[in-house]
C-alpha cells in the first residue's frame, strides 16, 4: 500500500544550505584517513595490511548502508531516518577521535560509514519538498558540497593531525556534523512517508551486501591472481552466485528493496553503467596525481612534500566544490545527457593529456582540476537523471544504488592504478617506471571514452 503524497511544502534557501553544509561536513569526515594513513600507522603501530583494512572499512560499510538508508527513507520519511543516521555517524566520529588503538578506531570507522546513506536521504527530501526545477539545482548544490567536503578533508587532515593531533582531525568534522544536523532538524520540514506499511526486504539487502563485499575481495585479490588463481576463481563464482540469488529474491519479494523493472528502464541502467565508468576514470586521477607529485623517478616526478601536494590539489578542491551546482544548473538548462557528455569529454581529454604531458607541476594541477570538475558535474547529472526517472517513492532506493556503484567504481579505479604501478616497478626498485603512469592514465581515458556510447542514449532532459 502506498501512502498518498501531500503537496510539497515550500522550504527556504536556509534549509537547502543546512543540508549542503551537512553534506560538506560528512564529506570532510569521510576523507581524513587517506592522507594521514602513514601517520596513523606510526602512532598506532599498525602494519601496512592493517592500514589497508582501516582505509577501506568505512568505504565498505558505506556501500552497505546506502541502500538500506534509501529504502527506509522512501518508506518512513527521509528527514526522520537522516537524523537517526547522523546520530550514528556522530557517535562514530566521537569513537574515532578518542580511539587509543586500531580496534577502537576500526569501530569508529564502521559507524562513520553510515554517512554515505545521508546522500539518498537528502535527495528524497529535496525532491519531495522543492518544485521540480529547483530540486535539480538543490541536488547539485548538495552533491557539490559533499565532493568539496571530501577534498577539504584531504587538504586539512595532515596539518590538523601534525599541528594538533590525530584526535582533532576526527573531532572537528564531527562537531560540524552535529551542528549541521541540528540546523537540518530545525529548518527542514517533515516529509511524508511512502509505503510505510511495507516490510523491509532483508534477504535482498543481505545479498546485495554479499555482492559488495565479494566484489571488494576480488579487487583486493586481483594483484595476486597469478600466484593464487584458485582463490580468484572461487571469488568470481561466489560473486556470480550472489548476483543470481539477489535477482531471484528481488523478483519474488512482495516488497523488494529494488524493483527490477527499473533496471529495464534505459535511463536507469545506463546511468549506472556510466557512473561506474566515470568513477573509474576519476579514481585513477585521484590515486596517480599525488603519486606523481611525490615521486622522484628517472626523469619524472617532483619529490613534493605532503604540504606541497595539499597546495597543488587546492584548485581541484575548488573545482569539485562548484561542480555539483554547475551540474545541476546544466541538467536543468540543457538536460542530464548533455552535461554527462561534456563531462566525459573533458575527463577523457584530461586523462589522455596527463598521460603524455606531465613534465611541469602545472600540467598536473590543471589536469586534476579539470577531472574534478568533470567528475562532480557528471555524477550530479547522473544522480538527477536517476532521481527524476523514477516516482518519488523510489527516489532513495534508485539513487542509493548510484552511490553504491560510485563506491565500486572508485575502488576499481584505485585498485587498477595500484596494480599497474606495482607491475611497472622494476625488480630491486621501489619507484615505478614512468610508462606505468602513462599506461594507467590511457586505460582510464579509454574506459571513460567508451561510456560515451551509452550516454548518447540517455536522452535529453529528465522526467519530472
Pair 246, 208: CB distance under 8 Å: yes
Task: Work out the number of other CB atoms within 10 angstroms of the CB of residue 333.
Answer: 11
- For residue 352, the model assigns a pLDDT of 94
The reported pTM is: 0.70
- Which DSSP string corresponds to 424-444? TSPTT-SS--HHHHHHHHHHH
- For residue 3, the model assigns a pLDDT of 44
Instruction: Evaluate if residue 418 carries a pLDDT over 60.
Output: yes
- For residue 391, the model assigns a pLDDT of 64
Alpha-carbon gap, residue 170 to 411, rounded angstroms: 23
- For residue 365, the model assigns a pLDDT of 92
pLDDT in tens, 244-275: 988 888 788 776 766 677 676 776 778 888 88
Domain ranges, ordered by start, for the chain: 11-194, 201-256, 259-464
Alpha-carbon gap, residue 319 to 27, rounded angstroms: 15
Average pLDDT over all residues of the chain: 77
Task: Work out the number of other CB atoms within 10 angstroms of the CB of residue 135.
Answer: 24
- For residue 12, the model assigns a pLDDT of 65
- For domain 11-194, the question of CATH label 1.20.1250.20 is answered with yes
The most confident of the ranges 31-45, 160-174, 259-273 is 160-174
Q: Give the mean pLDDT of 355-366.
A: 91
Task: Work out the number of other CB atoms within 10 angstroms of the CB of residue 356.
Answer: 11
- For residue 111, the model assigns a pLDDT of 86
Instruction: Note whether 11-194 and 259-464 share their fold.
Output: yes
The most confident of the ranges 10-24, 54-68, 103-117, 449-463 is 103-117
Instruction: Evaluate if residue 420 carries a pLDDT over 70.
Output: yes
Instruction: Evaluate if residue 226 carries a pLDDT over 70.
Output: no
Q: What is the CATH number of domain 259-464?
A: 1.20.1250.20
Which of the pair, 38 or 153, is modelled with greater confidence? 153
pLDDT in tens, 380-396: 888 777 766 666 556 66
φ and ψ of 328, to 5 deg: -65, -45
- For residue 6, the model assigns a pLDDT of 44
Instruction: Evaluate if residue 457 carries a pLDDT over 60.
Output: no
Angle between helices 37-44 and 102-112 (to 10 degrees): 140
- For residue 408, the model assigns a pLDDT of 78
Amino acid at each position: 500500500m502506498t501512502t498518498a503524497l501531500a503537496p510539497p511544502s515550500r522550504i527556504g534557501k536556509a534549509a537547502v544550505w543546512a543540508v549542503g553544509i551537512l553534506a560538506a561536513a560528512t564529506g570532510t569526515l569521510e576523507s581524513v584517513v587517506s592522507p594521514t594513513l602513514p601517520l596513523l600507522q606510526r602512532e598506532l603501530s599498525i602494519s601496512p595490511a592493517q592500514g589497508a583494512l582501516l582505509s577501506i572499512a568505512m568505504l565498505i560499510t558505506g556501500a552497505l548502508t546506502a541502500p538500506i538508508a534509501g529504502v527506509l527513507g522512501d518508506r518512513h520519511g527521509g528527514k526522520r531516518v537522516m537524523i537517526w543516521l547522523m546520530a550514528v555517524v556522530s557517535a562514530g566520529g566521537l569513537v574515532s577521535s578518542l580511539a587509543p588503538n586500531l580496534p577502537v578506531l576500526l569501530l569508529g570507522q564502521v559507524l562513520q560509514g553510515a554517512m554515505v546513506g545521508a546522500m539518498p536521504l537528502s535527495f528524497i527530501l529535496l525532491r519531495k519538498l522543492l518544485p521540480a526545477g529547483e530540486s535539480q539545482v538543490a541536488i547539485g548544490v548538495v552533491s557539490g558540497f559533499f565532493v568539496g567536503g571530501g577534498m577539504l578533508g584531504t587538504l586539512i587532515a595532515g596539518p590538523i593531525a601534525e599541528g594538533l593531533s590525530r584526535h582533532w582531525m576526527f573531532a572537528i568534522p564531527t562537531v560540524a556534523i552535529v551542528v549541521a544536523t541540528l540546523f537540518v532538524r530545525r529548518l527542514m520540514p517533515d516529509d511524508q512517508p511512502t509505503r510505510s506499511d511495507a516490510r523491509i526486504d532483508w534477504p535482498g539487502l543481505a545479498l546485495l551486501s554479499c555482492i559488495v563485499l565479494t566484489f571488494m575481495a576480488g579487487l583486493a585479490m586481483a594483484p595476486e591472481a597469478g600466484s593464487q588463481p584458485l582463490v580468484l576463481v572461487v571469488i568470481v563464482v561466489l560473486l556470480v552466485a550472489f548476483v543470481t540469488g539477489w535477482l531471484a529474491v528481488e523478483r519474488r519479494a512482495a516488497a523488494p528493496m529494488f524493483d527490477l523493472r527499473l533496471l529495464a528502464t534505459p535511463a536507469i541502467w545506463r546511468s549506472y553503467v556510466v557512473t561506474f565508468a566515470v568513477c573509474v576514470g576519476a579514481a585513477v586521477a585521484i590515486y596517480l596525481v599525488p603519486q606523481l607529485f611525490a615521486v622522484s623517478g628517472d626523469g619524472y616526478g617532483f619529490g613534493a612534500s605532503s604540504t606541497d601536494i595539499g597546495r597543488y590539489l587546492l584548485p581541484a578542491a575548488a573545482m569539485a566544490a562548484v561542480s555539483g551546482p554547475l551540474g545541476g544548473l546544466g541538467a536543468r538548462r540543457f538536460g542530464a545527457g548533455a552535461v554527462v557528455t561534456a563531462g566525459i569529454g573533458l575527463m577523457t581529454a584530461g586523462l589522455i593529456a596527463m598521460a603524455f604531458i606531465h613534465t611541469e607541476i602545472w600540467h598536473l594541477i590543471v589536469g586534476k582540476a579539470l577531472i574534478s570538475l568533470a567528475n562532480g558535474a557528471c555524477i550530479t547529472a547522473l544522480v538527477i537523471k536517476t532521481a527524476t526517472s523514477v516516482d518519488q517513492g523510489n527516489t532513495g532506493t534508485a539513487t542509493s544504488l548510484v552511490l553504491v556503484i560510485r563506491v565500486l567504481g572508485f575502488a576499481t579505479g584505485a585498485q587498477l592504478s595500484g596494480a599497474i604501478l606495482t607491475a611497472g616497478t622494476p625488480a630491486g626498485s621501489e619507484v615505478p617506471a614512468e610508462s606505468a603512469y602513462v599506461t594507467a592514465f590511457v586505460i582510464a581515458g579509454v574506459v571513460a571514452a567508451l561510456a560515451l556510447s551509452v550516454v548518447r542514449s540517455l536522452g535529453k532532459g529528465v522526467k519530472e
